[in-house]
Amino acid sequence: MTESVTCDIAVIGAGSGGLMVAAGAAMLGATTVLVERGKMGGDCLNYGCVPSKALISAARHAVSWRHAEALGVRYGEPEVDFIAVMRHVHDTIAAIAPHDSVERFTALGVQVIQGEAAFTAPDSLMVGQRAIRARRFVVATGSAPHIPAIDGLAETPYLTNETIFGLNEQPLHLLVLGGGPIGIEMAQAFRRLGSKVTLIERQHCLPREDQELSSLVLETLRSEGVDIRERTDVAHARDTASGIVLTLRNPDGGEERLAGSHLLVATGRRPVTDGLNLEAAGIAVGEKGITVDSGLRTTNRRVYAIGDVTGLSPFTHTAAYHAGLVLKNALFRLPVRADHDTIPRVTYSDPELAVVGLDEAAARSRHGTIRILRSPFSANDRARAEGRIDGMVKVIASPRGRLLGVSIVGPHAGDLLQPWSLALGRRIGIGAMQGMIVPYPTRGDAGKRAAGDFFRPRLLHPLVRRLVRLLARLG
């Protein structure tokens, strides 16, 4: 027998964005249904942000002795218990999971239905034997690993971010396909934990980022022993009795065979829309994901799409941002407009690379004349005291002091970026950032110094010096 369910809002996908919409809608009094076919918490909790950062933290401790030795503290190289490291990863997931659980959301007033959703009409969908009609729908089904078309790969055992945290043995030699954030983070973490690592990238690693800053990240990985092969194609993959063998096509056109014990495919993400029967609801899908307008509505005005499934900005915090906009529009009829130009992003390597707004190349292309302000951590007292002077703050501004973008590479770059993210999003000028009082000694002073450099040419102008002398004569 088919069961009919009617609600104000039906959310498909219990990742970070979907959970936020469901919780917010229910707490504000809207009848809410949440549908999830997999694990509550989605990719971020189970396969992405949470397990990767737990692994990265363990890996950072494995090399902390190297930094300590420069400060006069010496102790032996640590022994890595890989099974215990992975236990820490899964314990971290388990500790956070109750916050995203069916029980918690049921207690909030959300009807949670576990199963696969498929639209049957513009205003209804089916989940098993349940027919759900809603005033508004939110598609928040996220993304999945993109698997490239490489000869032999389908017959070769490989890992993705969805399976690598299930390893119960340490890779002797991890081959990583893809030099984006996931590939870079995992390559460094496994190298620090003791695995031999080779990273293969078709173009340049971290292609979205300012090459001046990303090169500092790559230099660190190389210094730690990660073998990085850029501008290298994988022509063939095969599984052998002694391990995985990749046939590489090098920049000079020559071929090389590379053997490893494990293969991680980290070549990007694809939106998850399979099984949704979006055509029945009149929802258009483009190459990058579900098509949405500036208010995150799809081509069906009843339906919103948020997060990775839109292909606009594949970050957990973007999904949360989208969720807030949808709640404003769907529940309160307030006009909203998503601004993706000011969404920050961080590659959690060591040093971290954090970016908001435009990089140098994009700013020159869009605005022509720009000001570039650099403040290296080598000139920062806190960085000197900690013995970590690698990195810099790089600020891009218009000639009149409008902030266009900020990139930071160095320890805790993601935290240091946050006031700049606020400034860019609220159109706060560089003068306010220069006038900000920062506690001493902190790394935040590097950003203040960069902002101050914007005004240095004006302050050192000969007319200013003449004015100072004139005022001095006047008493």
CATH number of 153-267: 3.50.50.60
Q: Cα(325)–Cα(305) distance, rounded to whole angstroms?
A: 11
pLDDT tier, 468 (very low <50, low <70, confident <90, very high otherwise): confident
**Encoding tokens for residue 465?**
């010096």
Domain 351-459 bears CATH identifier 3.30.390.30: yes
In the predicted model, is pLDDT for residue 68 greater than 90?
no
Could you give the residue range(s) of every CATH 3.50.50.60 domain in the chain?
Answer: 3-144+270-332, 153-267
Domain 3-144+270-332 bears CATH identifier 1.10.1740.10: no
- The maximal CA–CA distance of the chain, rounded, in angstroms, is 96
pLDDT tier, 208 (very low <50, low <70, confident <90, very high otherwise): very high
pLDDT above 70 as % of the chain = 100
Rg of the chain (C-alpha set): 25
Give helix 49-62 / helix 181-192 axis angle, nearest 10°: 40
Q: Cα(26)–Cα(23) distance, rounded to whole angstroms?
A: 5
**Encoding tokens for residue 120?**
């049957």
> How do residues 403-418 score in pLDDT, each as one tens digit?
999 999 999 999 999 9
The residue count of the chain comes to 475
pLDDT of residue 19: 98
Question: Which candidate, 175, 170, 186, 173, places its Cα nearest to that of 79?
Answer: 170
pLDDT of residue 131: 97
pLDDT of residue 474: 86
The beta-strand segments (E) located in 37-129 are 110-114, 117-121, 124-127
> How do residues 277-287 score in pLDDT, each as one tens digit?
999 999 999 98
In the predicted model, is pLDDT for residue 1 greater than 80?
no
User: Are the C-beta atoms of 403 and 424 separated by less than 8 Å?
Assistant: yes
Average pLDDT of the residues in 294-309: 98
In the predicted model, is pLDDT for residue 475 greater than 80?
no
In the predicted model, is pLDDT for residue 381 greater than 80?
yes
pLDDT of residue 85: 97
**Encoding tokens for residue 58?**
């363990």
- C-alpha pair distances (Å), 400 with each of 312, 420, 429, 432: 30, 17, 9, 13
pLDDT of residue 460: 79
Whether the predicted model's global pTM rises above the 0.85 cut: yes
In the predicted model, is pLDDT for residue 429 greater than 80?
yes
Q: Cα(104)–Cα(372) distance, rounded to whole angstroms?
A: 48
Could you give the residue range(s) of every CATH 3.30.390.30 domain in the chain?
Answer: 351-459
Selected residue with higher pLDDT from 465 and 162: 162
Q: How many CB atoms lie within 10 A of CB 176?
A: 31
pLDDT tier, 76 (very low <50, low <70, confident <90, very high otherwise): confident
Q: Cα(127)–Cα(430) distance, rounded to whole angstroms?
A: 52
Q: Cα(361)–Cα(213) distance, rounded to whole angstroms?
A: 13
Question: Which candidate, 241, 246, 265, 235, places its Cα nearest to that of 158?
Answer: 265
Instruction: Reduce the DSSP state of residue 223 to 3 states and report it.
Output: helix
> Rounded to an integer, what is the distance from CA 383 to the centroid of its chain?
25
